[in-house]
């Protein structure tokens, strides 16, 4: 029964895990490896989850911490090379718009803590929820997000 609950939880919230994987890894194999590692870390922590926070908050916390920790273990040899298809129809078939890919290219240029904050912000988490996940004050969240938004705008203009 315990395993069934966990599998159901992963199926329901896999979109969160996939987003984190896409943001922190550049190629399909690395994203699959990270997805597996996040799932494993969630499984290890599942018995200690006490529902003191929302499930999505708990999953984001573990997913982001795992992505950052495994990125550091692997080393900084991963570099993003934005490759866009020749025509927009091809891009839309893959389910991503050019703007979506350009935004991800800009996000990949942020440092790990900036990626974590902007990901949560784009998921419509409140400043209070983001503060709870990353462990800094709400005021600090506001300041950091403002700086990150400015940085992204500059990256997109390049």
- What confidence score (pLDDT) does residue 149 get? 92
Q: Average pLDDT of each block of 10 consecutive residues along the chain (158 residues)? A: 86 92 89 94 89 86 88 50 49 61 85 88 88 89 93 86
- What confidence score (pLDDT) does residue 81 get? 46
Reading the block at residue 15, the tokens are 């979109």
pTM: 0.65
- What confidence score (pLDDT) does residue 83 get? 54
CA distance 109 to 84: 17
Question: Helices then strands (H, E): number in the chain?
Answer: 8, 0
CATH of domain 1-78: 1.10.1740.10
In the chain, list all ranges with CATH 1.10.1740.10.
1-78
Reading the block at residue 26, the tokens are 């550049």
CA distances from 149 to 98, 120, 122, 125, 152 (A): 19, 13, 11, 16, 5
Q: Are 99 and 107 in contact (CB under 8 A)?
A: no
- What confidence score (pLDDT) does residue 71 get? 61
In the chain, list all ranges with CATH 1.10.10.10.
95-158
CATH of domain 95-158: 1.10.10.10
- What confidence score (pLDDT) does residue 85 get? 47
In 3D, which of 8, 129, 112, 15 has the Cα closest to residue 66?
112
* Helix, strand, coil percentages in the chain from 3-state DSSP, rounded to 5: 75, 0, 25
């Amino acid at each position: 029964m315990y395993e069934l609950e966990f599998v159901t939880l992963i199926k329901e919230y896999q979109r969160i895990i996939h987003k984190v994987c896409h943001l922190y890894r550049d190629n399909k194999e690395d994203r699959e490896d990270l997805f597996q590692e996040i799932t494993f870390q969630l499984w290890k922590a599942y018995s200690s989850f006490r529902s003191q926070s929302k499930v999505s908050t708990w999953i984001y916390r573990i997913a982001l911490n795992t992505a950052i920790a495994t990125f550091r273990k692997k080393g900084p040899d991963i570099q993003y090379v934005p490759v866009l298809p020749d025509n927009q129809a091809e891009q839309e078939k893959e389910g991503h718009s050019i703007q979506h890919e350009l935004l991800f290219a800009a996000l990949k240029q942020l440092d790990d803590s900036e990626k974590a904050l902007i990901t949560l912000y784009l998921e419509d988490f409140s400043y209070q929820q983001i503060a709870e996940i990353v462990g800094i004050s709400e005021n600090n969240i506001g300041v950091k997000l403002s700086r990150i938004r400015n940085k992204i705008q500059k990256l997109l203009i390049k």
